[in-house]
Copies of this chain bind each other. A is one copy, B any other.
Amino acid sequence: MEEFIDAVLKGDVRAAARLMREIDDQTPLARETVRALFRHTGNAHVVGITGAPGTGKSTLVDRLITVFREKGMTVGVLAVDPTSPATGGAILGDRIRMQRHATDPGVFIRSLASRGHVGGLSRSIYDMVSVLDAMGKAIILVETVGVGQDAVEIADLADTHILVVVPGTADGIQALKAGILESAVICVVNKADLEGADRTAADINALLAMRTGPQKGWQPPVLKTQATKNTGVPALAEAIFQHANYLKRQGKENARSKRLRASFFNALQQMLLEEAVERLNREKKLESLLAALEKRRIDPFSAAQEAAATLLAVKKGES
């Protein structure tokens, strides 16, 4: 265990890869190791890149790696694969392109399939970012599909949250639904050669203006890129550096402490609900409660109280 931890801290690629697999399998060894490593984290700058499938996130990440490496920074990449079979092929292609960096010892790339990981996914992502951080990577890029709960949690994890959209409105809807735009500090309109790019950028700017309104502080830039041609990528990297500097001036640690607490309470709430649902299912109570609710034989708060009592009964009787 000690040796294993030391190897990861020294950036040993084989040890790190093994730990990543353990995390993927959610083994007790993974939990213990991550826990021990956590005190060595907090040095990397974590960049979350979210967007719908097909927005070109992987290509952007591939190009960003090159920019960061040219500046001599070590890079960790965590790519969370979407499960959709419809887009799987294209994304695999992007991933293969990205792998050209894998022979560079200054880059560590890991993919994580989101299939079958519901509930555990955010923990796995969190743990893997901690490993990359403890390995000493200067910058960590986390790429995820920008929809649903996981994407929102990325905002808790990342120092700099980038939202990628393509010209058109569909992504904007998704972003709004997931509440992502709220936390994005840089917006990217990728595939900016497509029709409507200026309109999309203007729409996002209008939305951001409403959001930030009279507030002071960081004004999220809306950047147009064409990742396949490397257009706009250096400007994006520059925006990331600017935001990192902004955070330093504002007291980065403070924001991180807040995010750590938020992650803790979110995880606790999630664990308790999952345990409650599992236990109610096991005791065949959930179905009957939901049926009673449907027929208005019980109100939702009374039903919740009954459900909570199932989970807490023994401990309560004790005190």
Contact = CB atoms under 8 A, between A and B. Distances in A.
Interface of A: 31, 34-35, 38-39, 41-42, 123, 126-127, 130, 169-170, 172-173, 176-177, 179, 181-182, 203, 206-207, 209-215, 257, 260-261, 263-265, 267-273, 275-276, 279, 289-290, 293-305, 307-308, 311-315, 318
Given A261-B293, A299-B126, A315-B311, A206 B203 contact: yes
B173 A212 contact: yes
Contacts of A182: 176-177
Contact of A296 (B42, B169, B271): B42
A172 B210 contact: yes
Copies in the complex: 2
A257 B291 CA distance: 10
B318 A314 contact: yes
Contacts of A39: 295-297
A34 to B, nearest CB: 6
B210 A294 contact: no
A296 B314 CA distance: 33
A82 B289 CA distance: 34
A118 to B, nearest CB: 15
B304 A267 contact: yes
A5 B295 CA distance: 19
B294 A260 contact: yes
Contacts of A318: 314
Contacts of A296: 38-39, 41-42, 260
A264 to B, nearest CB: 4
Contacts of A268: 273, 276, 304, 307-308
A319 to B, nearest CB: 8
Contacts of A177: 182, 211
A273 B269 contact: yes
Contacts of A210: 169, 172-173, 176, 203, 207
B213 A302 contact: no
A217 B300 CA distance: 28
A167 to B, nearest CB: 13
B311 A314 contact: no
Given A38-B298, A176-B210, A272-B273, 13 more contacts: A35-B298, A38-B302, A126-B299, A127-B299, A169-B210, A169-B213, A173-B210, A176-B181, A177-B182, A203-B210, A260-B300, A267-B300, A314-B314
B34 A299 contact: yes
The 4 closest A-B pairs by CB, nearest first: A267-B304, A263-B300, A169-B213, A172-B210
A315 to B, nearest CB: 5
